[in-house]
């Protein structure tokens, strides 16, 4: 029995012994190591699982913490002041984001005005900045502009002096004719006034984009639209006649003669307007501009001494009869020449009065309040007659800031960049752009309608694009921005100081075009709020004035920066590829798929209701619609990737918006403006469509705002272009 129990016990013990028993020492050690590794993996998995559950509870349940820094509180105030949270975001997100107290907020206009206030603070504190000799003239000019007492005391005297320099005019009773071309040359070169055409130096819009003198249609003080009702047109002419009569009286003209000269000026303007060729017509004819020599233009429009007038205006350029120029409307110039010849043969005095009255309008910013009020009343009456919005009233300081920034841009650009675009802002903006660019590249790699060869070319173009951020290189290096302004002579008369600045600015622009310039020539100043893509330089440009609150700040929640500034960056990047969307622009692509996506987008935008009186031309806006829709999608993709790899997201306190809801809210904030204020020539869709079109095309928007299927912002079908 003993042995059997022993044998039995022994057998039971052998079955229960550990795996190491019976193994060699080496095998035993290996098994122990494997067991410890397995236990470590199991422990790590348990800890990770618990961490994920805790993260999901804290982040998704309680949500990210609110940002309570001063810049975030300011942004919250801005959102609360500009939006209307009582509106259902699924039925009218534009009103939800932009409509407040029966009015529409205008984010870009508000940012423009804030940038002017920043410039004002700079101009009113010259002692706070290290200035080079000569740069103090910018501050002296501003102070002179703000000295309304001295301007009012001088009255019309400085303007009468200018008229005498032009030989006088019949209304004053003191007229010594200088000759038509002599007067025209003085008006163009010394006073910046172009009564019959505009002349400017600018790069050609087509390759090789070299700077060339361009002759364009004139600008008129009155909206002589072709489709106005006869009654409205008559009222407009009556108001303009009243304005011209008032100018003549303010200048001391004989009241019995003023009316005749005002009538004659209106007649000349009306006939010039009839000669204009609409832009659409010239576009269809392929005649946006024609290259001719000065000699050829002299033969076709002989009343103007083109060589002498252009030489005086564009000094220090050296011109000759064979010098090429770009003419935008050649037929207009031919007819203009014939009209002026007839007027010269009838009564030279009426033509002189027409030129003088136009000059007064050009110089009105530098004149006393009587002239400025006459111009303001005219503009207000014209807006009423053409159903335009009321004319906004701006304080004196804002006009003085605008004139100062135009004449002293080199100095003010450096100071503005120093004030608003420091290293932390530069670094954060460039980081955002890099992430947006990477998202675009990822999207291009998966684009279904693009063939492989075109895809490679597109990826190469995106990779090689230059990015200009904040301000020109010379403005970011103050020593390069130093200007002495030797040619500006500030006078006791503000008008004479103003004219000296006009001449200096034109000469500075001409010199800049004549000198070799290795860098991109910025088309907007640093305080501008418009980003753009330059085809000639293959560069996307984002001025410092745009990369400001409420669109961008290093301390904002990421959702705000990606939704506002990020969408703008993606929008401009897509303009690099706009040629692909034109007929024949991508011959090897899947044309059927591309055209289907474009047609889908066109129908998508056409399906939205518009405010009363607002029109929409889908064929004119399709490029911008594609960039808006794609820009939003790319920015959202970049933001989602950022959330995946980086923690620390915040939101705005008391706004009850999740990070992705805040992203969409910030996108819409960029588009906030009154639809009735849109320029008819604008190639963007009305602001309501710029909000509703892209957002309703995003499934993520409907998901995060929980929009019921079939509502305006959650349609049954969507389009996939980019």
| pLDDT tier, 12 (very low <50, low <70, confident <90, very high otherwise) | very low
Q: How far apart are CA 304 and CA 334, in angstroms?
A: 11
Would you mind telling me the total number of residues written for the chain in this entry? 722
| pLDDT tier, 20 (very low <50, low <70, confident <90, very high otherwise) | very low
Residue 531 has pLDDT above 50, yes or no: yes
Tokens, residue 428: 């954060």
Which pLDDT belongs to residue 373? 93
What average pLDDT score do residues 322-351 get? 94
652 versus 223: which is more confidently predicted? Answer: 652
- Active-site residue identified among 628, 649, 679, 682: 628
Q: Which of 166, 136, 141, 123 is nearest to 494 (CA)?
A: 141
478 DSSP 8-state letter? G
Question: For residue range 30-86, what is the model confidence (pLDDT) as tens digits?
Answer: 555 666 655 665 565 555 555 544 444 444 445 789 999 999 999 999 999 999 999
Which pLDDT belongs to residue 18? 44
Which pLDDT belongs to residue 689? 95
Which pLDDT belongs to residue 231? 82
List the domains of the chain with CATH numbers: 156-366 (1.10.1380.10)
63 DSSP 8-state letter? -
Question: For residue range 602-648, what is the model confidence (pLDDT) as tens digits?
Answer: 999 999 988 887 878 878 899 999 999 999 999 999 999 998 877 78
Which pLDDT belongs to residue 27? 53
Sign of CA dihedral 558, 559, 562, 568: negative
Q: How far apart are CA 547 and CA 111, in angstroms?
A: 10
Q: How many helical (H) and strand (E) elements, i.e. helices and strands, does the chain have?
A: 30, 11
Tokens, residue 485: 């302004």
What average pLDDT score do residues 675-682 get? 79
Whether the CB-CB separation of 87 and 99 falls below 8 Å is answered with yes
Partners of 403 in the beta sheet?
none
**What is the number of other CB atoms lying within 10 angstroms of the CB of residue 620?**
14
Does 74 qualify as catalytic in the annotation?
no
| pLDDT tier, 685 (very low <50, low <70, confident <90, very high otherwise) | very high
- Active-site residue identified among 135, 343, 572, 624: 572
The whole-chain average pLDDT of the chain stands at 88
Contacts of 472 (CB under 8 A, 6+ apart): 413, 519, 520, 522, 526
Residue 322 has pLDDT above 90, yes or no: yes
Which pLDDT belongs to residue 24? 53
* Alpha helices per DSSP H over 62-179: 70-82, 93-98, 107-123, 136-146, 148-154, 157-165
Residue 16 has pLDDT above 50, yes or no: no
E strand or H helix at 168, and its extent?
A: strand 168-169
Question: For residue range 185-240, what is the model confidence (pLDDT) as tens digits?
Answer: 999 999 999 999 999 998 887 777 788 999 999 988 776 665 667 788 889 889 99
Which pLDDT belongs to residue 482? 76
| pLDDT tier, 5 (very low <50, low <70, confident <90, very high otherwise) | very low
Residue 696 has pLDDT above 60, yes or no: yes
Residue 275 has pLDDT above 60, yes or no: yes
Q: How far apart are CA 244 and CA 270, in angstroms?
A: 14
| pLDDT tier, 521 (very low <50, low <70, confident <90, very high otherwise) | confident
Q: How far apart are CA 492 and CA 508, in angstroms?
A: 24
Residue 320's φ and ψ, nearest 5 degrees, are -140, 165
551 versus 99: which is more confidently predicted? Answer: 551
Contacts of 382 (CB under 8 A, 6+ apart): 222, 223, 236, 239, 388
Whether the CB-CB separation of 198 and 219 falls below 8 Å is answered with yes
Q: Which of 252, 267, 242 is nearest to 170 (CA)?
A: 252
Residue 569 has pLDDT above 80, yes or no: yes
Question: For residue range 287-321, what is the model confidence (pLDDT) as tens digits?
Answer: 778 999 999 999 999 999 999 999 999 998 999 99
Whether the CB-CB separation of 129 and 138 falls below 8 Å is answered with no
Whether the CB-CB separation of 577 and 460 falls below 8 Å is answered with no
| pLDDT tier, 169 (very low <50, low <70, confident <90, very high otherwise) | confident
Q: Which of 470, 528, 425, 429 is nearest to 116 (CA)?
A: 528
Which pLDDT belongs to residue 636? 98
Which pLDDT belongs to residue 51? 53
Of 99-108, 334-343, 588-597, 656-665, the range with the lowest mean pLDDT is: 99-108
| pLDDT tier, 14 (very low <50, low <70, confident <90, very high otherwise) | very low
Q: How far apart are CA 562 and CA 646, in angstroms?
A: 14
Does 221 qualify as catalytic in the annotation?
no
């Amino acid at each position: 029995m003993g042995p059997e129990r022993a044998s039995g016990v022994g057998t039971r013990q052998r079955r229960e012994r550990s795996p190491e028993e019976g193994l060699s020492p080496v095998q035993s050690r290996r098994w122990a190591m494997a067991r410890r590794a397995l236990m470590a993996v199991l422990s790590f998995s348990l800890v990770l699982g618990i961490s994920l559950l805790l993260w999901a509870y804290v982040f998704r349940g309680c949500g990210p913490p609110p940002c309570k820094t001063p810049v975030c509180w300011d942004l919250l105030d801005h959102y609360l002041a500009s939006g209307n949270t009582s509106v259902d975001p699924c039925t009218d997100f534009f009103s939800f984001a932009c409509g407040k107290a029966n009015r529409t907020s205008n984010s870009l206009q508000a940012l423009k005005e804030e940038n002017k206030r920043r410039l004002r603070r700079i101009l009113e504190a010259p002692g706070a900045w290290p200035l080079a000799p000569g740069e103090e003239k910018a501050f002296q000019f501003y102070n002179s502009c703000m000295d309304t007492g001295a301007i009012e005391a001088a009255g019309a005297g400085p303007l009468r002096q200018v008229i005498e320099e032009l030989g006088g005019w019949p209304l004053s009773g003191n007229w010594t004719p200088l000759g038509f071309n002599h007067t025209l040359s003085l008006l163009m070169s010394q006073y910046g006034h172009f009564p019959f055409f505009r002349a400017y130096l600018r790069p050609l819009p087509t390759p090789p984009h070299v700077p060339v003198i361009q002759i364009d249609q004139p600008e008129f003080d009155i909206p002589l639209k072709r489709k106005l009702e006869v009654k409205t047109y008559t009222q407009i002419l009556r108001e303009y006649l009243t304005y011209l009569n008032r100018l003549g009286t303010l200048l001391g003209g004989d009241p019995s003669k003023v009316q005749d000269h005002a009538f004659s000026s209106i007649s000349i303007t009306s006939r010039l307007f009839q000669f204009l060729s609409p832009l659409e017509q010239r576009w269809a004819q392929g005649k946006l501009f024609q290259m001719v020599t000065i000699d050829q233009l002299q033969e076709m429009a002989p009343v103007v001494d083109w060589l002498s007038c252009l030489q005086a205006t564009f000094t220090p350029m050296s011109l000759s009869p064979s010098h090429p120029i770009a003419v935008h409307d050649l037929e207009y110039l031919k007819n203009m020449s014939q009209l002026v010849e007839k007027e010269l043969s009838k009564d030279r005095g009426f033509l002189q009065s027409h030129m003088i009255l136009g000059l007064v309008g050009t110089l009105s910013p530098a004149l006393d309040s009587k002239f400025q009020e006459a111009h303001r009343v005219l503009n207000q009456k014209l807006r009423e007659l053409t159903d335009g919005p009321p004319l906004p009233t701006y304080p004196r300081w804002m006009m003085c800031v605008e004139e100062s920034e135009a004449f002293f841009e080199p100095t003010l650009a450096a100071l503005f960049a120093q004030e608003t675009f420091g290293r932390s802002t530069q670094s954060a903006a460039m980081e955002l752009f890099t992430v947006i660019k990477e998202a675009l590249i990822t999207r291009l790699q998966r684009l279904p309608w693009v063939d492989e060869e075109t895809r490679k070319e597109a990826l190469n173009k995106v990779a090689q694009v230059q990015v200009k951020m904040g301000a020109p290189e010379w403005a970011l290096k103050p020593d390069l921005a130093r200007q002495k302004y030797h040619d500006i002579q500030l006078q006791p008369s503000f008008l004479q100081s103003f004219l000296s600045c006009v001449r200096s600015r034109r000469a500075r622009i001409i010199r800049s075009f004549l000198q070799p310039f290795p860098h991109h020539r910025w088309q907007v100043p640093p305080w501008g709020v418009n980003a753009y893509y330059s085809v000639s330089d293959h560069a996307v440009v984002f001025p410092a004035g745009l990369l400001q609150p409420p669109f961008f700040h290093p301390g904002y929640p990421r959702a705000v920066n990606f939704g506002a500034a990020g969408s703008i960056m993606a929008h401009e990047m897509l303009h690099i590829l706009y040629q692909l969307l034109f007929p024949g622009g991508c011959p090897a692509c899947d044309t059927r798929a591309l055209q289907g996506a474009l047609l889908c987008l066109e129908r998508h935008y056409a399906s939205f209701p518009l405010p009363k009186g607002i029109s929409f031309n889908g064929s004119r806006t399709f490029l911008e619609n594609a960039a808006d829709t794609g820009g939003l999608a790319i920015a959202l993709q970049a933001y989602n990737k950022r959330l995946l790899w980086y923690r620390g997201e915040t939101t705005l306190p008391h706004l009850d918006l999740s990070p992705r809801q805040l992203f969409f809210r910030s996108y819409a904030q960029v588009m906030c403006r009154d639809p009735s204020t849109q320029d008819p020539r604008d190639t963007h869709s009305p602001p309501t469509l710029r909000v509703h079109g892209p957002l309703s095309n995003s499934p993520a928007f409907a998901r995060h705002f929980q929009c019921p299927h079939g509502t305006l912002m959650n349609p049954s079908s969507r389009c996939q272009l980019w």
